[in-house]
Structure 1
Amino acid sequence: MLLNLHVKNLALIEESEVTFGSGLNILSGETGAGKSIIIGSVNLALGGKVSRSMLRENAEFALVELIFSIENEAQAEVLRALDIFPENGEIIMSRKIYASGRSVSRINSETVSASVMRKVASLLIDIHGQHEHESLLAKRNHMKYLDDFAKRVLAERKKLLAEVYDEYTACRKKLEEASLDAKQQARELSFLQYEIDEIDQADLKPGEDEVLEADFKKMSHGRKITEAIAECQELCSEGNENAADLIGRSVRALHMVAQFDASMEALSGQLEEVENLFSDFNRELSGYASELNFSEEAFQQIEDRLNQINHLKAKYGKTIERILEARQEKEEKLDQLQHYEEYRQQLQENLSQAEAKLNQLCQEVTEIRKSYAKDLTVQTTAALQDLNFMDVRFEMEFSRLDHFTANGWDETRFMISTNPGEPLKPLDAVASGGELSRIMLALKTVLAEHDEIETLIFDEIDSGISGRTAQMVAEKIKMTGKNHQIICITHLPQIAAMADHHFLIEKTSSADSTISNIRPLEREESIQELARMLGGVKITDTVLQNAKEMKEMADAVR
């Protein structure tokens, strides 16, 4: 359940906080007061798109923070699988948007990606926007509602179906690629044999290139190395006044006086160690110099070998190991071509087996869908009758595609008849905007009873609805609020009267700024707001009495 919403520096909102309750939470207010900003901020916090224009003028950042209580163990388990652990049964989701356009999403103070925010949001909240009912006009969405309804049984089969479909498409692709005629086959065999021979003739050894590159580097700088060694030997051991002679004379000088002062013995010993180290260095340097020789022929051989290896790397892979792997792959492909008909036959068998499994799974998924489609349409029909579709018939039509997809071979669409004697027709051929809103509400309420998502948000679902139908929609939302938390933005007093918790969004303006605020209403204030919704600018005693009666009637809907 959504416990708390905190918004700062977003559009018309300077800073606002609201604490929601269980049941039906109603948000109302004048047109343009900022009601949709509230729902927009929730969407934003849950991973929606960010625009710099959403920040208040001159604000350095905007912040949206949501606090959810997690009471469902199944939800908690999924959250733990995402490395999100509720603290005291709650999680805090926040998003900070900077003026630069950068945003940071956090859950329980830990930074997470937008994709993780969306995954968590899909577990906790379902938002029905102002125009979502229009998605019913596209039949590709109809199966999604059915699959959501049946997901407890269907989810694992659909996952397996997608895996087998990937296997099937991979087999089909291999078989298509293996469609060579005799000439193509001969050319491919010849080319593969050439490439294998080219790699074999190189007689590559793993790590060989690293040794050659080190030798090449050393030999390509041979003159500089020789000159540096000669200079070092001149200074250290061979020239006049060289370092070895000077250190030796220093050792003898200190040794002669060390007997007169104990502290001089320690210094003399240190200098003797230096002399020994320097002697060892000179011997090693002399040995290195004696072994150092530069051969133009050897250098050319190393250069040629490196050129050969680098040529193979450019063709077959960036390392010797990858070149050898490529050689193995080509040998396997060569073997396939040498036994081409056997290879194609095996591919065909693999494809047939994958197709058989896919057929079986598609059939199973179709049977599950058709079974649940009956339940979904029966329950949706009942919900539609509650929403003043008195003689409605609501069914789901199935047809079969002429190809497989990762979702099976089904194509579905909702069919409806709203008047006695009329045949069933597709929704887009029958339903008006107001009717689509009610149909979507009916579907949402039915799906909610089969879903673990506790919080539903309805943003102005009352478009095109009035009179007795509005009253029935209000009662339906109220009844849904018994088992779910509902947050609803509305212009209809019939729906607002049903509120368990009523919030007013109002806009105030001064010379230099406009600010939206949200605040909870006490019962009498709620009646005043209902009167405004009923009567407009002028609220008469009669309108106020009507609002009070509407509230009392709503109290009776339990």
Structure 2
Amino acid sequence: MLTQLSIKNYAIIDDLNVSFKDGFTVITGETGAGKSILLEGLSMVLGKRADLNSLRDKTSKCIIEAQFSLGGYELQSFFESNDLDYDVQTIVRREILPSGKSRAFINDTPVTLEVLTGLGGRLIDVHSQHQTLLLAEHDFQLKIIDAIAGNSKLLKTYRSSLAAYKNTATELDALLQQQQNAIKDQDYNSFLLNELESTPLKEGMQEELENQYEQLNNVETILSQMSAGHQLLQNENSGILALLYELKLAIGKLTSFGSAYSDLNERIQSLHIEADDIASEMQSLEESVETDPNRLEEVNGLLQSLFDLKKKHGATTVTELLEIRDDLREKVDRTEHLDEDIEVQKSLLAKQEAELLKLAEELNLKRQAAIPELSRQLEEDLAALGMPHATFKITLEAASDYGTTGRDRILFLLSSNKGTDYGPLKKVASGGELSRIMLVIKAVLSQHEKLPTLMFDEIDTGVSGEISNRMADIMRKMSQHMQVFAITHLPQVASKGDHHYKVYKEDSEQMTRTEMKRLSTDERIVELAEMLGGKELSDSALAHARQLLN
């Protein structure tokens, strides 16, 4: 509920700060005192677009702040989904800067106008003549019946089932589209895959093949150079090994003359061992080298295939070719299993549709059962509001598709007077009648679901004193379940409030500003008397005012 409202520098409001309580609150004031400005200011924190012309002082910013108590509103999920800190005592603030820009905050966190509007619609419902347009909307009409039928949990289950059904249908459509595209590409992808798989691709194969090719293509040079090297190492008289051996013997005789000669001898020993090992390896390599024209041709063919594949697929490395091969293999495998996947999705979709149909039929049955009770309540309340012959004809028809509220199409018809035909509400009811119909509908809804703070903006305009008295009774009854405000010109309505606020203008030499205060019992008597008989207070007007309050 709304617990506090602060408005600074807005229209003719300079600095207004007022607190509110639960129950039924009435707001009165002379025409032009600023009641509509107060409501416009409040609408700013509910998401209405800002207007620079609204600034009282064009050099200062306008600040409008409202505090709400959110206990029982179940808004935690809204705060979580919008990354906001949840607090039972939530503050919503709107600022209009002199530059024309506006900013919005929820608990001091900046938010977009869309988020602000989303929260505002859950906090305050402003009921005016314009809101009667909702009466013609299909979803709103179903909402009324669902409230009577107690369909809240069932609708939640249905919508969850509908979301799963739509998700499966979307996945099935994607699979079918994928199948159509895959059929066109399947042969070509299979050809490319076979071509890649026919070449034994592996990491490092190009370097390995190139090394083999160089060796096989230069066998004679390798053998010739290896033979020359062998001679240099192992020649009996002048080979490196023979010379190192003689060097080793010569220096070996000096080891007893000091560590320096011992160290030198060890180094020569190492050289001899290393040279001997090189000689053995060269001999082994020389023996392994042989002319193999067939293998040379095979290696050359593999290298050519590799180069062709890289050019064809725009690859620069064997690694990229392996990735392309794996991707093609996945596409081919996926296409081959698409039929199976499609059948699985079709089976799941049929199962979900059966469950959805069952829930939709259950909603329909509960709605059908609730229609007589809804018609009775509406007709009974409207009779008390000066529409004694108003009757409703509410029917449900099956739709071909699944909507967010089920498969029902509602026909909500009204006959306002005896002998008149039934017709859509907006065609057969006047503006005043529509306003009364909306009032009784909200009264019905308030008994069955948690509604936000409800603000009635002069909906009693143009009705008689007796009917306005009954309208006030309905609003007061609603306030047992929720916080209700009524902006009114009628003393019959104003007298029924638990709390009474007056909006008035205060003039000074420099400016005129709007103020608002909560009236005491004595002040209420004076205010009601003025509403009854004007500024010239008479004893009869005061007595009548006391009688209304009692």
Q: TM-score range by the shorter chain?
A: 0.5 to 0.7
2:9 partner SS: strand
8 A contact 1:165–1:405 mirrored in 2: no
* Alignment partners' CA distance in 2, 1:39 and 1:329: 63
Worse-superposed segment, 100-109 or 129-138? 100-109
Over 3 Å counting, the alpha-carbon distance change for 1:161 and 1:204 in structure 2 is: farther
Residue equivalent to 1:261: none
The structural deviation recorded for 1:479 is 2.5
Residue equivalent to 2:460: 462
2:520 to 515, 518, 522: 522
Does residue 28 in structure 1 map to residue 24 in structure 2?
no
Residue equivalent to 1:484: 482
Residue equivalent to 1:189: 186
2:314 to 288, 292, 308: 308
8 A contact 2:172–2:342 mirrored in 1: no
The structural deviation recorded for 1:469 is 1.8
Residue equivalent to 2:388: 390
* Alignment partners' CA distance in 1, 2:508 and 2:323: 71
Does residue 335 in structure 1 map to residue 336 in structure 2?
yes
Unaligned runs of 5+ in 2: 204-306
Residue equivalent to 1:19: 19
* Alignment partners' CA distance in 1, 2:154 and 2:321: 48
Which structure would you say has the larger Rg? 2
Over 3 Å counting, the alpha-carbon distance change for 1:510 and 1:359 in structure 2 is: same
* Alignment partners' CA distance in 1, 2:490 and 2:326: 70
Q: List aligned pairs for 1:221-236, cutoff 5 A.
A: none
Q: List aligned pairs for 1:411-422, cutoff 5 A.
A: 411-420=409-418, 422=420
8 A contact 1:164–1:358 mirrored in 2: no
* Alignment partners' CA distance in 2, 1:191 and 1:462: 76
Residue equivalent to 1:444: 442
8 A contact 1:490–1:496 mirrored in 2: yes
Residue equivalent to 2:98: 99
Residue equivalent to 2:5: 5
The structural deviation recorded for 1:45 is 1.5
8 A contact 1:192–1:334 mirrored in 2: no
1:364 partner SS: helix
Residue equivalent to 2:61: 61
The structural deviation recorded for 1:7 is 0.7
| Cα-to-partner distance string for 1:431-454 (whole Å, 9 max, x where unaligned) | 111111011011111111222346
Q: List aligned pairs for 1:44-59, cutoff 5 A.
A: 44-59=44-59
The structural deviation recorded for 1:142 is 1.4
Worse-superposed segment, 320-329 or 142-151? 320-329
| Cα-to-partner distance string for 1:393-430 (whole Å, 9 max, x where unaligned) | 23422112222334321111322233345554321232
The structural deviation recorded for 1:10 is 1.9
* Alignment partners' CA distance in 1, 2:195 and 2:10: 66
Identity, in percent, stands at 28
* Alignment partners' CA distance in 2, 1:106 and 1:423: 51
Over 3 Å counting, the alpha-carbon distance change for 1:428 and 1:129 in structure 2 is: closer
Over 3 Å counting, the alpha-carbon distance change for 1:58 and 1:454 in structure 2 is: closer
8 A contact 2:65–2:91 mirrored in 1: yes
Q: List aligned pairs for 1:255-270, cutoff 5 A.
A: none
Q: List aligned pairs for 1:174-213, cutoff 5 A.
A: 174=174, 177=177, 187-193=184-190
| Equivalenced residues, count | 439
The structural deviation recorded for 1:333 is 4.5
Amino acid at match of 1:389: M
* Alignment partners' CA distance in 1, 2:367 and 2:543: 47
8 A contact 1:157–1:365 mirrored in 2: no
| Cα-to-partner distance string for 1:265-310 (whole Å, 9 max, x where unaligned) | xxxxxxxxxxxxxxxxxxxxxxxxxxxxxxxxxxxx9xx99x9369
Amino acid at match of 1:415: L
Residue equivalent to 2:144: 145
The structural deviation recorded for 1:495 is 1.4
Amino acid at match of 2:470: M
| Cα-to-partner distance string for 1:152-203 (whole Å, 9 max, x where unaligned) | 33342232233134135425634763785xxx87634345547768998998
Does residue 552 in structure 1 map to residue 546 in structure 2?
yes
8 A contact 2:202–2:322 mirrored in 1: no
The structural deviation recorded for 1:79 is 7.6
Unaligned runs of 5+ in 1: 206-300, 311-318
C-alpha RMSD over aligned residues: 4.1
The structural deviation recorded for 1:115 is 5.1
8 A contact 1:398–1:412 mirrored in 2: yes
* Alignment partners' CA distance in 1, 2:364 and 2:428: 27
| Cα-to-partner distance string for 1:28-63 (whole Å, 9 max, x where unaligned) | 223333212222222322334333333334143221
Worse-superposed segment, 8-17 or 361-370? 361-370
* Alignment partners' CA distance in 1, 2:546 and 2:195: 91
* Alignment partners' CA distance in 2, 1:68 and 1:488: 18
The structural deviation recorded for 1:5 is 0.6
The structural deviation recorded for 1:461 is 1.7
Residue equivalent to 1:158: 158
8 A contact 1:154–1:368 mirrored in 2: no
Does residue 507 in structure 1 map to residue 505 in structure 2?
yes
Over 3 Å counting, the alpha-carbon distance change for 1:187 and 1:116 in structure 2 is: closer
| Cα-to-partner distance string for 1:450-487 (whole Å, 9 max, x where unaligned) | 22346221122224423432222122222223443211
1:43 partner SS: helix
Over 3 Å counting, the alpha-carbon distance change for 1:175 and 1:367 in structure 2 is: farther
1:131 partner SS: helix
Residue equivalent to 1:226: none
Over 3 Å counting, the alpha-carbon distance change for 1:354 and 1:468 in structure 2 is: same
